[in-house]
């Protein structure tokens, strides 16, 4: 018999994930910013709010993880959008630094937070907001971060209860929601997502080595290659880059292995020699990779062992002869893991609908136990070149600007009928302008002000970096 709850009769629930809001100001030089759909987000909320009021139906917005990209917002205050900050500026996971980062994000995406303020409604029909944690924003664990969001969107007084921050999983009747990183690649799993504290240091959040890789390497890579964040998972990116840009692939791999806890499956002397050569001269290694079939075969085997060990120690395997095939295999493996996770959640919570995010790839499928699995995808650039030929892949690496503005603004909608039964749909928001246009060119006074602010911010970052190295 279908599950139902009369108290939810007629409700609307909108679920989306993986917005990855940074500090904004992409057009001022912040190439770490991935979110460019502020207006589209506001338009979606406005449309659902008007429907809610017209039909007298309560509504709820659930942001299922990775709402905010805390790992790519420096703690500096003020910040220079174009500055290449040292890793130390991103590494503090304490409550104070986390709240400061959120305030930068709020300032950089005023239309988003204005829309959330307008979304909340204490009168009937009520409208609520639920924010779950993802691997890029476990910072919602801190109460001071929660309060900073409440303050920004006017969730005080009688409106305070309109905003909720579940620890890990959110269940609304027969619908169960969780971000999904705990089921994906090992790089992004926490020991305890409910209390994601650093071992031995309750003043800081845990930093899985996938997060360390972002902080210590990827932030600087994205300054030059702003589009690389569209390839998921990171292991697949390395395999793709090995085919089209081996020098970048080797630099990425060295950084990944530095952040990883260990490297097994390869003899120590081979591993040390290999990493030393890559660190010393990645360009020379790239040239050898292009010209020597024997070296390519050796690299594929070592890379397969390394990435297999990093991602899943019990499933390390030798590398494939075809880097693209290996990348596709790793993406398929990540999708399979989340399908298994959705199946577990359905069984554990008696859910008929399970909603996850994390992979950035939208999914709508029936699980083997009869439950429905929806992955809400993402609202940032996501590579979808399935079936693409070699020339198109080369074009991506050569002309990323032709692809990086292509975004599918996917989300899920749950409608409860008069008996409380759920109708679940995976939808795509298609506003007239899904990516906001760049702002008008600033005048001379604004440019002078921004130059002075940028100069001061760079001086502070340099001084702070020197202190951290002493």
Q: Residue 221 region, left (φ>0) first, then alpha (ψ -120 to 50), else beta?
A: alpha
CA angle, corner 316, sides to 315 and 318, nearest 5?
130
**Separation CA 187–CA 259 (nearest Å):** 10
Q: Note the pLDDT tens digit of each residue in 149-207.
A: 999 999 999 999 999 999 999 999 999 999 999 998 888 999 999 999 999 999 999 99
- Domain of residue 404: give its range: 6-205+326-439
In a domain, 213, yes or no: no
Residue 87 or 392, more confident:
87
Q: Note the pLDDT tens digit of each residue in 195-228.
A: 999 999 999 999 998 899 899 888 888 887 777 7
In a domain, 248, yes or no: no
**Separation CA 266–CA 301 (nearest Å):** 9
- Give the mean model confidence (pLDDT) for residues 126-143: 98
Preceding peptide of 136 cis, ω within 30° = no
- State how far Cα 453 lies from the chain centre: 29
Q: Residue 458 region, left (φ>0) first, then alpha (ψ -120 to 50), else beta?
A: alpha
For 86-115, letters b (16+ CB in 10 Å) and e give bbbbbbbbbbebbbbbbbbbbebbeebbbb
- Give the mean model confidence (pLDDT) for residues 408-430: 93
DSSP at 156: -
- Give the mean model confidence (pLDDT) for residues 126-144: 98
Q: Note the pLDDT tens digit of each residue in 434-450.
A: 655 444 434 444 445 44
Given a cut of 80, is residue 388 above it in pLDDT? no
State residue 172 phi and psi, 5-degree precision. -125, 95
For 410-430, letters b (16+ CB in 10 Å) and e give bbbbbebeeebbbebebbebe
User: Residue 419: what pLDDT?
Assistant: 79
User: Residue 306: what pLDDT?
Assistant: 65
Helix axes 234-244, 390-398, angle to 10 degrees: 100
In a domain, 291, yes or no: no
CATH number of the structural domain spanning residue 368 = 3.60.21
- State how far Cα 458 lies from the chain centre: 27
In a domain, 244, yes or no: no
Q: Note the pLDDT tens digit of each residue in 71-109.
A: 999 999 999 999 999 999 999 999 999 999 999 999 999
> Structural domain tally of the chain?
1
In a domain, 320, yes or no: no
User: Residue 258: what pLDDT?
Assistant: 66
In a domain, 450, yes or no: no
Nearest Cα residue to 218 out of 255, 243, 257: 255
- State how far Cα 276 lies from the chain centre: 31
Tell how strand 372-375 and strand 363-366 pair up. antiparallel
Nearest Cα residue to 81 out of 26, 36, 34: 26
Classify 233 as helix, strand or coil.
coil
In a domain, 277, yes or no: no
Place of tokens 């790519």: 72
Nearest Cα residue to 15 out of 186, 113, 129, 110: 129
User: How far, CA to CA in Å, does 323 sit from each of 75, 238, 242, 246, 373?
Assistant: 38, 9, 7, 11, 30
In a domain, 461, yes or no: no
Kindly state the helix (H) or strand (E) to which residue 372 belongs, with its residue range: strand 372-375
Token pair, residue 105, equals 């994000």
**Separation CA 73–CA 203 (nearest Å):** 19
User: Residue 55: what pLDDT?
Assistant: 96
**Separation CA 380–CA 406 (nearest Å):** 9
Predicted structure pTM score: 0.83
Cβ-based neighbour number of residue 198 at 10 Å: 14
């Amino acid at each position: 018999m279908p599950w139902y709850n009369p108290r939810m009769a007629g409700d609307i629930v909108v679920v989306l994930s993986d917005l990855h809001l940074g500090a904004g100001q992409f057009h001022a030089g912040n190439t770490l910013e991935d979110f460019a759909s502020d207006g589209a987000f506001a338009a979606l909320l406005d449309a659902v709010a008007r429907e809610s009021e017209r039909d007298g139906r309560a509504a709820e917005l659930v942001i299922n993880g990775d709402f905010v990209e805390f790992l790519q917002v420096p703690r500096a205050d003020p910040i220079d959008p174009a500055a290449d900050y040292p890793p130390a500026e991103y590494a503090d996971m304490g409550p104070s630094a986390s709240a400061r980062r959120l305030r930068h994000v709020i300032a950089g995406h005023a239309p988003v937070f204005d829309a959330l303020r307008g979304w909340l409604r204490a009168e009937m029909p009520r409208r609520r907001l639920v924010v779950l944690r993802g691997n890029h924003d476990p910072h919602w664990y801190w109460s001071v971060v929660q309060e900073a969001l409440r303050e920004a969107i006017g969730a005080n007084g009688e409106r305070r209860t309109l905003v909720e921050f579940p620890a890990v999983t959110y269940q609304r009747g027969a619908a169960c929601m969780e971000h999904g990183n705990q089921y994906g690649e090992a790089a992004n799993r926490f020991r305890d997502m409910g209390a994601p504290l650093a071992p031995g240091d309750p003043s800081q959040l845990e930093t899985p080595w996938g997060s360390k890789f972002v902080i210590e390497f990827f932030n600087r890579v994205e300054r030059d290659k702003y589009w690389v964040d569209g390839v998921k998972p990171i292991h697949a990116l390395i395999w793709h880059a090995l085919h089209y840009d081996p020098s970048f692939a080797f630099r990425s791999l060295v950084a990944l292995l530095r952040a990883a806890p260990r490297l097994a499956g390869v003899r120590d002397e081979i591993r040390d020699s290999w990493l030393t050569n890559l660190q010393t001269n990645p360009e020379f290694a790239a040239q050898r990779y292009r010209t020597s079939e024997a070296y390519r075969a050796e690299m594929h085997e070592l890379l397969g062992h390394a990435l297999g060990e990093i991602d899943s120690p019990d499933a390390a395997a030798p590398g494939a002869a075809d880097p693209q095939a290996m990348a596709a295999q790793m993406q398929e493996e990540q999708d399979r893991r989340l399908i298994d996770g959705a199946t577990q959640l359905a069984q554990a919570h008696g859910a008929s609908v399970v909603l996850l995010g994390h992979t950035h790839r939208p999914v709508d499928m029936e699980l083997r136990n009869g439950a429905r699995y929806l992955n809400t995808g993402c609202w940032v650039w996501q590579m979808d070149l399935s079936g693409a030929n070699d020339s198109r892949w080369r074009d991506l690496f050569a002309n990323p600007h032709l692809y990086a503005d292509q975004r599918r603004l996917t989300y899920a909608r749950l409608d409860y009928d008069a008996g409380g039964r759920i109708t679940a749909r995976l939808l795509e928001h298609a506003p007239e302008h899904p990516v906001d246009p760049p702002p008008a060119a600033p005048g001379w006074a604004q440019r002078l002000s921004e130059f002075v602010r940028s100069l001061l911010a760079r001086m502070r970052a340099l001084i702070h970096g020197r202190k951290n190295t002493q």
